[in-house]
Amino acid sequence: MKTKVIRMKPGDFDREAVQEAGRIIREGGLVAFPTETVYGLGGNALDELAAQKIYHAKGRPSDNPLIIHIADMDSLEKIVTEIPEKARLLADAYWPGPLTMIFPKSDIVPCGTTGGMDTVAVRMPDHPLALALIRAGGGYIAAPSANTSGRPSPTRSEHVEEDLTGKIDMILDGGPVGIGLESTIIDFAEDIPTILRPGYINRQMLEDIIGPVEIDRGLIAADSGIRPKAPGMKYRHYAPNAELVVVEGAQENVQEKIRELAEEKIRQGYQVGIIATDESSDAYPLGLVKKIGTRKNEESIALHLFGILREFDDCEVSFIYSEAFNTPRMGQAIMNRLLKAAGQQKIQV
Protein backbone atom coordinates (compact mmCIF):
# COMPACT_ATOMS: atom_id res chain seq x y z
CA MET A 1 0.00 0.00 0.00
CA LYS A 2 1.25 3.48 -0.80
CA THR A 3 1.10 5.86 2.16
CA LYS A 4 0.46 9.48 1.23
CA VAL A 5 2.17 11.97 3.57
CA ILE A 6 0.75 15.49 3.68
CA ARG A 7 2.69 18.18 5.57
CA MET A 8 0.85 21.13 7.03
CA LYS A 9 0.87 23.74 9.74
CA PRO A 10 -1.49 22.85 12.60
CA GLY A 11 -2.93 26.36 12.88
CA ASP A 12 -3.24 26.90 9.14
CA PHE A 13 -4.00 23.52 7.66
CA ASP A 14 -4.93 22.43 4.19
CA ARG A 15 -8.71 22.01 4.29
CA GLU A 16 -8.82 20.05 1.07
CA ALA A 17 -6.33 17.52 2.44
CA VAL A 18 -8.43 17.18 5.60
CA GLN A 19 -11.50 16.50 3.46
CA GLU A 20 -9.57 13.87 1.53
CA ALA A 21 -8.42 12.30 4.80
CA GLY A 22 -12.00 12.38 6.11
CA ARG A 23 -13.16 10.58 2.96
CA ILE A 24 -10.54 7.87 3.49
CA ILE A 25 -11.81 7.36 7.06
CA ARG A 26 -15.47 7.24 5.97
CA GLU A 27 -14.57 4.66 3.35
CA GLY A 28 -12.92 2.41 5.91
CA GLY A 29 -9.27 3.44 5.45
CA LEU A 30 -6.64 4.57 7.97
CA VAL A 31 -5.13 8.03 8.52
CA ALA A 32 -2.50 8.98 11.11
CA PHE A 33 -2.89 12.48 12.55
CA PRO A 34 -1.43 14.70 15.28
CA THR A 35 -3.20 15.35 18.57
CA GLU A 36 -1.96 17.37 21.54
CA THR A 37 -0.74 14.18 23.28
CA VAL A 38 0.84 11.87 20.65
CA TYR A 39 0.10 11.01 16.99
CA GLY A 40 -2.98 8.81 16.57
CA LEU A 41 -3.77 6.14 13.99
CA GLY A 42 -7.37 6.84 13.02
CA GLY A 43 -10.11 4.70 11.51
CA ASN A 44 -13.92 4.85 11.60
CA ALA A 45 -14.80 3.76 15.14
CA LEU A 46 -18.22 2.48 14.08
CA ASP A 47 -16.77 0.19 11.41
CA GLU A 48 -15.55 -3.13 12.76
CA LEU A 49 -13.38 -3.75 9.69
CA ALA A 50 -11.61 -0.41 10.11
CA ALA A 51 -10.87 -1.35 13.72
CA GLN A 52 -9.42 -4.66 12.54
CA LYS A 53 -7.19 -2.78 10.10
CA ILE A 54 -5.87 -0.63 12.96
CA TYR A 55 -4.93 -3.69 15.02
CA HIS A 56 -3.28 -5.23 11.99
CA ALA A 57 -1.25 -2.12 11.01
CA LYS A 58 0.06 -1.70 14.58
CA GLY A 59 0.49 -5.38 15.32
CA ARG A 60 -1.62 -4.69 18.41
CA PRO A 61 -3.22 -7.51 20.41
CA SER A 62 -6.95 -7.34 19.62
CA ASP A 63 -7.99 -7.48 23.29
CA ASN A 64 -6.45 -4.03 23.81
CA PRO A 65 -9.37 -1.64 23.20
CA LEU A 66 -9.20 1.59 21.17
CA ILE A 67 -10.10 5.11 22.32
CA ILE A 68 -12.86 6.83 20.34
CA HIS A 69 -12.12 10.46 19.49
CA ILE A 70 -15.05 12.86 19.14
CA ALA A 71 -15.36 16.57 18.33
CA ASP A 72 -18.51 17.56 20.29
CA MET A 73 -20.69 16.49 23.22
CA ASP A 74 -23.65 15.44 21.04
CA SER A 75 -21.45 12.69 19.60
CA LEU A 76 -20.81 11.38 23.12
CA GLU A 77 -24.54 10.84 23.75
CA LYS A 78 -24.74 8.51 20.73
CA ILE A 79 -21.97 6.11 21.68
CA VAL A 80 -22.62 5.70 25.42
CA THR A 81 -25.71 4.67 27.40
CA GLU A 82 -25.01 6.74 30.47
CA ILE A 83 -22.96 9.83 31.34
CA PRO A 84 -22.15 10.04 35.07
CA GLU A 85 -22.44 13.55 36.54
CA LYS A 86 -18.73 13.55 37.40
CA ALA A 87 -17.89 12.80 33.78
CA ARG A 88 -19.95 15.80 32.68
CA LEU A 89 -18.08 18.01 35.14
CA LEU A 90 -14.72 16.74 33.91
CA ALA A 91 -15.76 17.19 30.28
CA ASP A 92 -16.73 20.80 31.06
CA ALA A 93 -13.38 21.39 32.71
CA TYR A 94 -10.95 19.47 30.50
CA TRP A 95 -12.48 18.74 27.07
CA PRO A 96 -11.19 19.27 24.53
CA GLY A 97 -8.04 18.03 26.23
CA PRO A 98 -5.79 15.12 27.23
CA LEU A 99 -8.41 13.22 29.26
CA THR A 100 -10.06 9.92 28.27
CA MET A 101 -13.16 8.70 30.12
CA ILE A 102 -14.68 5.21 30.22
CA PHE A 103 -18.46 4.79 29.70
CA PRO A 104 -20.89 1.92 29.14
CA LYS A 105 -21.04 1.61 25.35
CA SER A 106 -24.17 1.89 23.19
CA ASP A 107 -25.05 -0.67 20.52
CA ILE A 108 -23.68 1.35 17.61
CA VAL A 109 -20.13 0.81 18.90
CA PRO A 110 -18.85 -2.53 17.59
CA CYS A 111 -17.06 -4.90 19.96
CA GLY A 112 -14.23 -4.92 17.46
CA THR A 113 -13.43 -1.35 18.54
CA THR A 114 -13.64 -2.03 22.27
CA GLY A 115 -11.63 -5.25 22.36
CA GLY A 116 -14.79 -7.15 23.30
CA MET A 117 -15.58 -4.93 26.30
CA ASP A 118 -19.04 -3.50 27.00
CA THR A 119 -17.46 -0.17 27.93
CA VAL A 120 -15.94 2.40 25.63
CA ALA A 121 -13.10 4.90 26.14
CA VAL A 122 -13.82 8.38 24.74
CA ARG A 123 -11.80 11.56 24.39
CA MET A 124 -12.11 14.96 22.69
CA PRO A 125 -8.61 16.00 21.60
CA ASP A 126 -7.45 19.61 21.86
CA HIS A 127 -5.90 19.99 18.44
CA PRO A 128 -7.47 21.92 15.54
CA LEU A 129 -6.31 19.45 12.88
CA ALA A 130 -7.54 16.43 14.87
CA LEU A 131 -10.95 18.03 15.47
CA ALA A 132 -11.29 18.95 11.79
CA LEU A 133 -10.40 15.41 10.76
CA ILE A 134 -12.91 13.89 13.20
CA ARG A 135 -15.67 16.07 11.73
CA ALA A 136 -14.63 15.31 8.14
CA GLY A 137 -14.40 11.59 8.96
CA GLY A 138 -17.97 11.25 10.24
CA GLY A 139 -17.59 12.14 13.92
CA TYR A 140 -16.11 9.01 15.52
CA ILE A 141 -12.46 8.14 15.05
CA ALA A 142 -10.94 5.17 16.86
CA ALA A 143 -7.30 6.08 17.36
CA PRO A 144 -4.58 4.36 19.34
CA SER A 145 -1.09 5.80 19.22
CA ALA A 146 0.29 5.63 15.67
CA ASN A 147 3.28 3.39 16.42
CA THR A 148 4.05 -0.27 15.97
CA SER A 149 2.73 -1.96 19.10
CA GLY A 150 5.44 -2.11 21.78
CA ARG A 151 7.56 0.74 20.35
CA PRO A 152 7.68 4.20 21.94
CA SER A 153 4.61 6.29 21.04
CA PRO A 154 5.09 8.77 18.18
CA THR A 155 5.50 12.45 19.00
CA ARG A 156 6.53 13.56 15.48
CA SER A 157 5.37 12.60 12.00
CA GLU A 158 8.80 11.01 11.30
CA HIS A 159 8.12 8.46 14.06
CA VAL A 160 4.83 7.50 12.42
CA GLU A 161 6.51 7.28 9.02
CA GLU A 162 9.20 4.98 10.48
CA ASP A 163 6.61 2.54 11.84
CA LEU A 164 3.63 2.69 9.48
CA THR A 165 4.76 3.66 5.98
CA GLY A 166 3.27 1.14 3.53
CA LYS A 167 0.71 -0.04 6.10
CA ILE A 168 -1.81 2.84 6.17
CA ASP A 169 -3.43 5.16 3.61
CA MET A 170 -2.32 8.58 4.79
CA ILE A 171 -0.24 10.50 7.33
CA LEU A 172 -1.12 14.10 8.18
CA ASP A 173 2.07 15.76 9.40
CA GLY A 174 1.08 18.69 11.60
CA GLY A 175 4.47 19.11 13.28
CA PRO A 176 5.58 17.89 16.70
CA VAL A 177 2.92 17.33 19.39
CA GLY A 178 2.57 19.54 22.48
CA ILE A 179 2.50 17.13 25.44
CA GLY A 180 4.26 13.96 24.36
CA LEU A 181 2.56 11.45 26.70
CA GLU A 182 -0.80 9.78 26.07
CA SER A 183 -4.02 11.00 27.71
CA THR A 184 -4.99 10.38 31.31
CA ILE A 185 -7.65 7.63 31.49
CA ILE A 186 -10.33 7.72 34.19
CA ASP A 187 -13.00 5.13 34.94
CA PHE A 188 -16.25 5.65 36.89
CA ALA A 189 -17.13 1.99 37.47
CA GLU A 190 -16.28 2.08 41.21
CA ASP A 191 -17.73 4.46 43.83
CA ILE A 192 -14.53 6.46 43.74
CA PRO A 193 -13.41 7.24 40.16
CA THR A 194 -10.12 5.55 39.27
CA ILE A 195 -7.17 6.66 37.16
CA LEU A 196 -6.31 3.78 34.82
CA ARG A 197 -3.45 5.59 33.10
CA PRO A 198 -1.73 8.74 34.42
CA GLY A 199 -1.20 11.65 32.02
CA TYR A 200 -0.95 15.43 31.80
CA ILE A 201 -4.26 15.82 33.68
CA ASN A 202 -3.00 14.66 37.07
CA ARG A 203 -4.85 13.42 40.14
CA GLN A 204 -4.98 16.86 41.74
CA MET A 205 -6.52 18.42 38.63
CA LEU A 206 -9.23 15.72 38.65
CA GLU A 207 -9.85 16.05 42.39
CA ASP A 208 -10.17 19.82 42.06
CA ILE A 209 -13.28 19.20 39.95
CA ILE A 210 -14.88 15.98 41.30
CA GLY A 211 -13.38 15.26 44.73
CA PRO A 212 -11.58 12.03 45.66
CA VAL A 213 -10.00 10.00 42.88
CA GLU A 214 -8.03 6.76 43.22
CA ILE A 215 -5.15 5.35 41.23
CA ASP A 216 -5.51 1.82 39.85
CA ARG A 217 -3.48 -0.45 42.15
CA GLY A 218 -2.26 -2.37 39.14
CA LEU A 219 -0.35 0.77 38.12
CA ILE A 220 1.29 1.48 41.46
CA ALA A 221 2.23 -2.10 42.15
CA ALA A 222 3.23 -2.71 38.55
CA ASP A 223 5.38 -5.72 39.40
CA SER A 224 3.23 -7.22 42.13
CA GLY A 225 1.02 -9.33 39.91
CA ILE A 226 -2.08 -7.12 40.23
CA ARG A 227 -3.53 -6.69 36.76
CA PRO A 228 -4.06 -3.11 35.61
CA LYS A 229 -7.72 -2.36 34.78
CA ALA A 230 -6.93 -0.83 31.40
CA PRO A 231 -6.19 -3.90 29.31
CA GLY A 232 -3.41 -2.13 27.40
CA MET A 233 -1.43 -1.30 30.52
CA LYS A 234 -0.46 -4.92 31.09
CA TYR A 235 1.70 -5.09 27.97
CA ARG A 236 5.41 -4.22 27.87
CA HIS A 237 5.33 -0.97 26.05
CA TYR A 238 7.38 1.91 24.73
CA ALA A 239 10.38 -0.36 24.87
CA PRO A 240 13.69 0.60 23.27
CA ASN A 241 15.83 -2.19 21.79
CA ALA A 242 18.46 -1.70 24.50
CA GLU A 243 18.04 -2.82 28.09
CA LEU A 244 16.86 0.22 30.03
CA VAL A 245 17.36 0.67 33.77
CA VAL A 246 16.07 3.61 35.83
CA VAL A 247 18.11 4.84 38.81
CA GLU A 248 16.17 6.60 41.56
CA GLY A 249 17.33 8.48 44.67
CA ALA A 250 19.12 11.68 45.68
CA GLN A 251 20.69 13.37 42.64
CA GLU A 252 24.37 12.89 43.66
CA ASN A 253 23.79 9.20 44.41
CA VAL A 254 21.95 8.68 41.15
CA GLN A 255 24.74 10.28 39.15
CA GLU A 256 27.40 8.25 40.93
CA LYS A 257 25.52 4.99 40.35
CA ILE A 258 24.92 5.72 36.67
CA ARG A 259 28.62 6.59 36.18
CA GLU A 260 29.57 3.32 37.85
CA LEU A 261 27.12 1.21 35.78
CA ALA A 262 28.14 2.90 32.54
CA GLU A 263 31.85 2.45 33.23
CA GLU A 264 31.39 -1.24 33.96
CA LYS A 265 29.47 -1.94 30.73
CA ILE A 266 31.83 0.16 28.62
CA ARG A 267 34.77 -1.79 30.08
CA GLN A 268 33.04 -4.95 28.95
CA GLY A 269 32.87 -3.52 25.43
CA TYR A 270 29.23 -2.42 25.26
CA GLN A 271 27.84 0.87 23.96
CA VAL A 272 25.95 2.67 26.72
CA GLY A 273 23.35 5.43 26.57
CA ILE A 274 22.50 7.79 29.43
CA ILE A 275 19.33 9.83 29.85
CA ALA A 276 20.26 13.02 31.70
CA THR A 277 18.94 16.58 31.91
CA ASP A 278 20.35 19.99 30.97
CA GLU A 279 21.40 20.27 34.61
CA SER A 280 23.12 16.88 34.96
CA SER A 281 24.60 15.98 31.57
CA ASP A 282 28.10 17.22 32.52
CA ALA A 283 28.18 14.72 35.38
CA TYR A 284 28.60 11.84 32.91
CA PRO A 285 32.03 11.67 31.26
CA LEU A 286 31.40 8.29 29.59
CA GLY A 287 28.65 6.91 27.36
CA LEU A 288 26.31 8.50 24.86
CA VAL A 289 24.61 11.14 26.99
CA LYS A 290 21.29 12.61 25.84
CA LYS A 291 19.53 15.52 27.49
CA ILE A 292 15.82 14.83 27.84
CA GLY A 293 14.96 18.38 28.95
CA THR A 294 15.34 20.55 32.01
CA ARG A 295 14.17 19.89 35.55
CA LYS A 296 13.11 23.54 35.64
CA ASN A 297 10.36 22.66 33.14
CA GLU A 298 9.02 19.15 33.63
CA GLU A 299 6.84 19.46 30.52
CA SER A 300 10.06 19.40 28.49
CA ILE A 301 10.94 16.02 30.02
CA ALA A 302 7.52 14.55 29.20
CA LEU A 303 7.68 15.92 25.67
CA HIS A 304 11.04 14.35 24.80
CA LEU A 305 10.82 10.96 26.54
CA PHE A 306 9.48 8.85 23.65
CA GLY A 307 11.64 10.63 21.06
CA ILE A 308 14.80 9.96 23.07
CA LEU A 309 13.97 6.26 23.41
CA ARG A 310 13.62 6.11 19.61
CA GLU A 311 16.90 7.97 19.13
CA PHE A 312 18.71 5.36 21.18
CA ASP A 313 17.27 2.66 18.90
CA ASP A 314 19.02 4.40 16.01
CA CYS A 315 22.41 4.45 17.77
CA GLU A 316 22.64 0.79 18.69
CA VAL A 317 23.43 1.09 22.37
CA SER A 318 23.02 -2.14 24.39
CA PHE A 319 22.27 -0.53 27.76
CA ILE A 320 20.55 2.71 28.71
CA TYR A 321 20.67 4.20 32.20
CA SER A 322 18.15 6.89 33.02
CA GLU A 323 17.73 9.24 35.92
CA ALA A 324 14.27 9.06 37.55
CA PHE A 325 11.91 11.97 37.00
CA ASN A 326 9.57 12.18 39.98
CA THR A 327 8.67 15.75 39.09
CA PRO A 328 5.82 17.47 40.95
CA ARG A 329 3.07 17.74 38.31
CA MET A 330 3.72 15.11 35.64
CA GLY A 331 6.10 12.83 37.53
CA GLN A 332 3.56 10.06 37.90
CA ALA A 333 2.86 9.98 34.16
CA ILE A 334 6.53 10.29 33.16
CA MET A 335 7.65 7.55 35.57
CA ASN A 336 4.78 5.27 34.48
CA ARG A 337 5.99 5.39 30.86
CA LEU A 338 9.69 5.29 31.71
CA LEU A 339 9.33 2.27 34.00
CA LYS A 340 7.18 0.45 31.46
CA ALA A 341 9.86 1.10 28.86
CA ALA A 342 12.35 -0.33 31.36
CA GLY A 343 10.23 -3.43 32.00
CA GLN A 344 10.05 -2.07 35.61
CA GLN A 345 13.83 -2.35 36.10
CA LYS A 346 14.69 0.23 38.75
CA ILE A 347 17.66 0.64 41.07
CA GLN A 348 17.08 2.58 44.27
CA VAL A 349 20.16 4.39 45.61
Interface with ligand AMP, residue 202, by CB under 6 A: no
44: phi then psi, degrees, rounded to nearest 5:
-65, 115
Which option in Mg ion, ligand AMP, none does residue 136 bind, with CB closer than 5 to 8 A by kind? Answer: none
Where residue 101 falls (left for φ over 0; alpha for ψ -120 to 50; beta otherwise) is beta
> CB-wise, 148 or 251, nearer to ligand AMP?
148
- Choose the binding region for ligand AMP from 60-68, 89-97, 125-133, 267-275 (rule: CB under 6 A): 60-68
Q: Does 44 bind ligand AMP (CB under 6 A)?
A: no
For ligand AMP, the closer CB: 197 or 265: 197
Partner whose footprint covers residue 185, from ligand AMP, Mg ion, none (CB < 5 to 8 Å by kind): ligand AMP
Q: How does DSSP assign 216-282, residue by residue? A: -HHHHTTTTTPPPSSGGGGS--S--SSEEEEEESSHHHHHHHHHHHHHHHHHTT--EEEEE-TTTGG
C-beta of 102 vs 206, nearer to ligand AMP: 102
Burial class (CB in 10 A: 0-12, 13-18, 19+), 209: middle
CB 246 within 8 A of CB 346: yes
CB of 52 to Mg ion, least distance (A): 17
Task: Give the C-alpha separation, 331 to 327, whole Å.
Answer: 4
SS3 54: helix
Q: What span, in angstroms and rounded, lies between the C-alpha atoms of 194 and 183?
A: 14
Which one of residues 99, 230, 317, 320 is an interface residue with ligand AMP (CB under 6 A)?
230
- The reply on whether position 121 binds ligand AMP by CB under 6 A is yes
Residue ranges binding Mg ion (CB under 5 A)? 145
Q: Report the nearest approach of Mg ion to the CB of residue 200 (Å).
A: 15
Whose Cβ is closer to ligand AMP: residue 131's or residue 233's? 233
Please tell me the distance from the alpha carbon of residue 25 to that of residue 133, in angstroms, as a whole number: 9
Using CB under 6 A as the binding rule, whether residue 114 contacts ligand AMP is answered as yes
Does 35 interact with ligand AMP (rule: CB under 6 A)?
Answer: no
Residues 148-167 that bind ligand AMP (CB under 6 A): none
Distance (Å, whole) CA 244 – CA 317: 10
Smallest separation, CB 244 to ligand AMP (Å): 19
309 touches, from ligand AMP, Mg ion, none (C-beta below 5 to 8 Å by class): none
Pairing between β-strand 31-33 and β-strand 40-44 as defined by DSSP bridges: antiparallel
Binding partner of residue 117 among Mg ion, ligand AMP, none, CB under 5 to 8 Å per kind? Answer: ligand AMP
Question: Cα dihedral sign for 53, 56, 61, 66?
Answer: negative
Out of 10, 22, 29, 65, the only residue in the binding site for ligand AMP (CB under 6 A) is 65
> DSSP 3-state assignment of 126?
coil
Tell me which of 52, 64, 148, 251 binds ligand AMP, using CB under 6 A. 64
Q: How many residues does the chain have?
A: 349
Task: Using CB under 6 A, list all residues that contact ligand AMP.
Answer: 64-67, 102, 114, 117, 119-121, 144-145, 182, 185, 196-197, 230-233
